[in-house]
Amino acid sequence: MAPAKTTPPAWIGIDLGGTKILAGVIGDDLKPISRAKIPAGASDGADAVIDRIAECAREVVVKAGLTWHQIRGIGVGAPSPIEEATGSVIFAPNLGWRDLPLRKRLRERLKAPVSVGNDCSLATLGIYEAEYQARPRHLLGIFPGTGIGGGLVINRELVTGATGSAGEFGQMTLNYGGGTGADNVPGSLESMAGRASLAARIRADVAQGQSTLLTKLVGPDLKEIKSGQLRKAIRRGDTYVEALVREAAARIGAAIGSLINIVNPEVIALGGGMIEQMESLILPVIKDKVAEYTDPGVRAGIRIAASRLGDDAGIIGAAVFARRTSAPA
């Protein structure tokens, strides 16, 4: 009698953002078998968003040609500090959520093991496991986008901290006594170098008479400025926008220098929308500032590089997290 065929293990990884839900079925080789993406629809309320997460999870299993019984667990990366014991979202401003029991509600809908972590921490885990094959002992992930998130792998373990919020590098204070935007620590890196802070500064400068190509690319109200639009303006010769982006990159580089002095990692992995759209401009500035703001003995041999996983980092990391932590529903 031929031996019974065994089903290769598979997990679902979900990256939950303020505007979209991205899901993937991830095999044991950490490669996506299928992907699905739908709008988050945060304005419809938490229950509607959670229903869409469940819908996206089911869709991605069908796309993979699997049955629900072949899925070992589900991991979700949410844009919030996470209460580790309960898998609850503490505060997700992009979704308008506070103290929401996400793990419990998803388990009720999907009848499957669910693990919930911070989105940037899980993206860091994905990069560490899939891109670096878990070889470095210490790796930091930093993600400049709308804000600036991050994650830490120390001694080959993801560090989540007491409230699941370890790695909030964007809230490092670089300018003591400086101003703040909504939901930012005063004088924080994010308040000075995240895309949302750059957009706010651009709008204020334009109101004072500053000229920029963004008024044509985005519209005169400059309501929503994306990283790709910043890149287009720079490519078309907008020296004002280029100077702002270079300044932001310099601040990020100085902050990374401080982190290197504290943690002494082997790898700094960069991701996020600003890096994906403007790597060729931002990365050299970051490297120059790291050299300026770190002790020579500490920075020797450190690799600073942009991740090539893109959106897959989040879904792979969430699946890895599920593989490590899922308990039966």
**C-alpha span between 154 and 159 (Å, rounded):** 7
Q: What average pLDDT does this structure show over 149-162? A: 94
Q: What average pLDDT does this structure show over 4-8? A: 56
The confidence score (pLDDT) of residue 7 equals 63
Asked if pLDDT for residue 148 goes beyond 80, the answer is yes
The confidence score (pLDDT) of residue 325 equals 85
Q: Are strands 148-154 and 88-92 parallel, antiparallel or unpaired?
A: unpaired
Closest by Cα among 109, 82, 75, 114 to 98:
82
For the segment 11-29, what is each residue's pLDDT rounded down to a tens digit? 999 999 988 999 999 999 9
Q: Are strands 139-144 and 114-118 parallel, antiparallel or unpaired?
A: unpaired
Write the DSSP symbol of residue 209: T
Asked if pLDDT for residue 180 goes beyond 70, the answer is no
pLDDT confidence band for 181 (50 / 70 / 90)? low
Q: What average pLDDT does this structure show over 51-64? A: 96
**C-alpha span between 159 and 182 (Å, rounded):** 26
**C-alpha span between 266 and 246 (Å, rounded):** 25
**C-alpha span between 166 and 272 (Å, rounded):** 18
- In this structure, of 108-117, 168-177, 218-227, the range with the lowest mean pLDDT score is 168-177
pLDDT confidence band for 53 (50 / 70 / 90)? very high
Helix, strand, or coil (residue 81): coil
C-beta atoms surrounding 281 within 10 Å: 17
* Phi and psi at residue 244, to the nearest 5°: -65, -45
For the segment 107-145, what is each residue's pLDDT rounded down to a tens digit? 999 999 999 999 999 999 999 999 999 999 999 999 999
For the segment 259-293, what is each residue's pLDDT rounded down to a tens digit? 999 999 999 999 999 999 999 999 999 999 999 99
Angle formed at CA 292 by CA 286 and CA 293, multiple of 5 degrees: 85
The confidence score (pLDDT) of residue 3 equals 43
The confidence score (pLDDT) of residue 2 equals 44
The confidence score (pLDDT) of residue 328 equals 54
Domains of the chain, first to last: 10-119+312-325 (3.30.420.40), 127-306 (3.30.420.40)
The confidence score (pLDDT) of residue 182 equals 60
- Is residue 108 a contact partner of residue 51, using CB atoms and an 8 Å limit? no
Asked if pLDDT for residue 196 goes beyond 80, the answer is yes
| Cα torsion through 88, 40, 59, 78, rounded to 10 | -30
The confidence score (pLDDT) of residue 163 equals 75
Which amino acid is residue 151, in one-letter code? Answer: G
pLDDT confidence band for 296 (50 / 70 / 90)? confident
The confidence score (pLDDT) of residue 4 equals 42
* Phi and psi at residue 86, to the nearest 5°: -115, -10
- Tell me what the pLDDT averaged over the chain comes to: 92
CA distances, 71 to each of 87, 135, 161, 251, 323 (Å): 20, 27, 28, 43, 11
- Is residue 56 a contact partner of residue 38, using CB atoms and an 8 Å limit? yes
> pLDDT exceeding 90 applies to what percent of the chain?
81
Helix, strand, or coil (residue 261): helix
- Is residue 20 a contact partner of residue 119, using CB atoms and an 8 Å limit? no
- In this structure, of 38-52, 163-177, 179-193, the range with the lowest mean pLDDT score is 179-193
The confidence score (pLDDT) of residue 329 equals 52
- Is residue 103 a contact partner of residue 40, using CB atoms and an 8 Å limit? no
- 198-214: b or e for each residue (b if 16 or more CB lie within 10 Å)? bbbebbeebeeeeebbb
Task: Return all residues near 47 (Cβ < 8 A) that are at least 6 apart.
Answer: 105
